[in-house]
Amino acid sequence: MSSYLDYQSSKPVDPRVIEAMLPYFHEHFGNPSSLHGEGDEATKVLEDCRQTIAGFINAEPDEIIFTSGATESNTVALIGYASRNRDKGDHIIISEVEHISIHNIAKYLEKDGFKVSRLPVDQYGKINVQKLASRITPQTILISIGYASNEIGTIQPIAEVGALAREKGIAFHSDAVAAEGLIPLDVKKDQIDLLTISSNDIYGPKGIGVLYVRKGMRVNPVIIGGGQERGLRSGTENIAGIVGMSKAVEIMRKEMTEEVKRLTGYRDTLIKNLLARIPKSHLNGHPIDRLANNAHVRFEAIEGESLILALRDEGVSAATGSACSSKTLEPSHTLISTGLLHEEAHGSLEFTLGRFNTEADVDRVIEVLPPIVERLRKLSPLYKAEEMAT
Ligand code: PMP
């Protein structure tokens, strides 16, 4: 038996999505830019999907720009917005717990002459909106705060940030990749100007994503060519991918409430049992404002990597942190930002649940992990030293 609890790094495509996509590889292969019947048909499909996806975030269809995924959407949001609005100011605010793509884009912008403030977070990984307000200067043109952490699952006060940004006339971007499918998204209610979502995070195919660009926002393209997507993202549209993302949205809209309820139950069972059964274990991230699918637990005096390998031998797949930076030896920047020491951050495991998990997967982790921790701790010099000190 194998149990996959790493849905944040990759999700299987829902079979209903695959079925919806299949005709768009061979039967309906037209290019929306063509003037013949096949082209018209592709245009109609493209615009229908745009409408469906707009409805998912309470946007208008012409505010939806299709991209190749979240990294590209983040790139257009930050570089595209900053470069176009340089005349208004040169200061950008992000938080310390953003996804690595936002951090690296921010570094790129710094090299290009922009100034970036990185807002610290509390012990749960949450930003403070008053502190955010105090960082705003007359030069601030853009605030980018992720909806929720893809690592520790902490949900940010997005509506408050949106209200502040709108009041100050500053553009607000949010990367909602970790939150989509778990929290209802509403760009109007939250006063978001630029929003990143991706298809795979709602059980659609990889290689397709969306940047929501509120009407009237001035943004430069990053990919330049034939002028598709209102000139903001050139290149022939990935119709099969777009159909897949749209189908994934349709399914999510119908099933999200039930799914979130089920995942919350699994998450709470997992957290409660791991903390109760494993001595010297702690929850990372916010105890209440956390994603329904996220259980992030820290074990004293032990290495997360060795836990992952031992779990792997038992057929359980989990993560030590973001897959986008898991091959580096550096501890997670998110955990360090919450005030953990390097060795504490290294002793953490991230379980993210999803659509195809069952209670049996949760039970399996609860059964196999406590003896693994006990066995590895017996071998750990760190643990022996700690035991002797207590
Ligand atoms: N933002 C967040 C919050 C993510 O978790 C990820 C990775 N899934 C990305 C952006 C980048 O996504 P991708 O690698 O699909 O472009």
Based on its alpha-carbon atoms, the radius of gyration of the chain, rounded to whole angstroms, reads 22
Indicate whether residue 153 lines ligand 1 (CB < 6 A): no
> Which helix (H) or strand (E) segment is 174 a member of?
strand 171-175
What integer pLDDT is reported at residue 158 of this predicted model? 98
What integer pLDDT is reported at residue 381 of this predicted model? 75
Q: Assess contact for 181 and 251: CB atoms under 8 A.
A: no
Report the separation in Å between the CA atom of 180 and the middle of ligand 1, taken as the mean of its atom positions: 12
Ligand 1 atom 12: residue of nearest CA = 70
Atom of ligand 1 nearest to the CA of 68: 16
**Residue 351: strand pairing partners:** 295
Ligand 1 atom 8: residue of nearest CA = 9
Residue ranges and CATH numbers for the domains of the chain are 3-9+256-389 (3.90.1150.10), 15-251 (3.40.640.10)
Report the separation in Å between the CA atom of 381 and the middle of ligand 1, taken as the mean of its atom positions: 36
Indicate whether residue 324 lines ligand 1 (CB < 6 A): yes
- Walking along the chain (390 residues) 10 residues at a time, the average pLDDT comes out as 94 98 96 92 96 98 98 98 98 98 98 98 98 98 98 98 98 98 98 98 98 98 96 97 98 98 98 97 98 97 91 95 62 93 91 98 97 92 66
Which residues are identified as catalytic? 324
Indicate whether residue 380 lines ligand 1 (CB < 6 A): no
Report the separation in Å between the CA atom of 65 and the middle of ligand 1, taken as the mean of its atom positions: 17
Q: Assess contact for 208 and 246: CB atoms under 8 A.
A: no
Probe residue for ligand 1, chosen from 150, 325, 334 as the CB with the greatest number of ligand atoms within 8 Å? 150
Report the separation in Å between the CA atom of 179 and the middle of ligand 1, taken as the mean of its atom positions: 11
Model pTM above 0.85: yes
Q: At what angle do helices 304-313 and 359-379 cross, to 10 degrees?
A: 120
Ligand 1 atom 9: residue of nearest CA = 70
How many CB atoms lie under 10 A from the CB of residue 341? 11
